[in-house]
């Protein structure tokens, strides 16, 4: 079963005493729960870089990926809109130099294009247990704090109500030449996020930001998963 992979990833991290999963690991857990994530390859060895570039294709994004580093932007570990092999090789050298002393590699990721960004997540409340969050993403997450919450497990009705609860709900509609968001997929993503929280008591927090609408299709571009210490 696909979910067995999620069990192995989380249990392996816990055995090592880790408090977080790497972005790559977190997305593997999400994918095991049918949550759409960006196509990507983790590369730790320069010899494997060109094959990864061929698999993902240009333009692409390259990120430093380590469970020990949560804030990649501040450390200069994110390079976007890479369009040539030469640019990619330089970005890889820079990222691996920045990761010196950490266990990790470079995440070679397809560049998802879309003007609308959402946020999804899960938090474990001491009283209510796992609660799912949905709202406006990207830079607006902290500025506007336009989010809604529901306690897991979520029904389809719960998930759809969450999307309508935010003030910026019209971002999901057909607007300015952009098609309406795939509400069915968004709802199922929220339901499945709640299920991860129910299946794993050790998962304390999930932060998916941004979830980019590529046309109508939502895709998780960045993911953080915090474990019980």
- Per residue in 98-152, pLDDT (tens digit) is 998 888 999 999 999 999 999 999 999 999 999 999 999 987 777 778 999 999 9
Token pair 């320069």 is found at: 46
Measured CA to CA in angstroms, residue 13 lies from 6, 22, 30 at distances of 11, 10, 16
The pLDDT of residue 185 is 98
Per-residue model confidence (pLDDT) at position 118: 96
Contact 66, 102 (CB under 8 A): yes
Length of the chain: 229
Rounded to 10 degrees, the C-alpha dihedral 140/141/142/145 comes to 100
Burial class (CB in 10 A: 0-12, 13-18, 19+), 118: buried
Q: How confident is the model at residue 203 (pLDDT cuts 50, 70, 90)?
A: very high
Q: Of 62-71, 84-93, 185-194, where does mean pLDDT reach its minimum?
A: 62-71
Predicted confidence band at 74 (pLDDT cuts at 50, 70, 90)?
low
H/E element holding 12? helix 2-15
Encode pLDDT of 25-36 as tens digits: 999 999 999 999
Query: 71 pLDDT band (50/70/90 cuts)?
Result: low
> Span 175-203, mean pLDDT?
96
Q: What is the pLDDT of residue 70?
A: 65
Which residues are bridge partners to 81 per DSSP? none
pTM of the entire structure? Answer: 0.94
| pLDDT reading at 14 higher than 60 | yes
pLDDT higher than threshold 60 for residue 60: yes
Q: Which residues contact 143 (CB under 8 A, 6 or more apart)?
A: none
How many Å apart are CA 212 and CA 117, to the nearest integer?
Answer: 5
The label of the residue with tokens 């067995």 reads 4
Mean pLDDT of the chain: 94
> What pLDDT sits at residue 140?
73
Helix axis angle, 49-56 relative to 85-98, nearest 10°? 120
Q: With bands split at pLDDT 50, 70 and 90, how would you rate the model's confidence at 72?
A: low
* Residue labelled with tokens 């406006």: 136
Residue 114 makes CB contacts below 8 A (sequence gap 6+) with 212, 213, 214, 215, 219
């Amino acid at each position: 079963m696909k979910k067995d992979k999620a069990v192995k990833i989380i249990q392996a991290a816990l055995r090592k005493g880790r408090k977080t999963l790497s972005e790559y690991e977190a997305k593997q857990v999400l994918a095991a729960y049918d949550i759409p994530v960006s196509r990507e390859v983790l590369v730790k060895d320069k010899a494997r870089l060109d094959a990864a570039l061929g698999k993902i294709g240009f333009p692409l994004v390259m990120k430093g990926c380590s469970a020990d580093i949560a804030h990649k932007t501040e450390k200069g570990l994110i390079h976007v809109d890479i369009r040539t092999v030469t640019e990619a090789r330089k970005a890889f050298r820079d990222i691996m130099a920045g990761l010196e002393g950490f266990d990790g590699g470079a995440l070679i990721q397809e560049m998802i294009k879309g003007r609308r960004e959402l946020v999804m997540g899960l938090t474990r409340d001491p009283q209510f247990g796992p609660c799912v969050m949905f709202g406006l993403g990207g830079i607006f997450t902290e500025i506007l704090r336009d989010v809604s919450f529901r306690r897991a497990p979520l029904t389809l009705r719960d998930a759809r109500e969450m999307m309508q609860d935010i003030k910026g709900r019209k971002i999901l509609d057909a607007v300015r030449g952009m098609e309406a968001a795939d509400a069915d997929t968004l709802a199922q993503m929220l339901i499945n996020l709640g299920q991860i929280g129910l299946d794993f008591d050790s998962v304390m927090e999930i932060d998916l930001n941004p979830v980019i609408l590529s046309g109508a299709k939502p895709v998780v571009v960045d993911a953080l998963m915090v474990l019980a210490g």
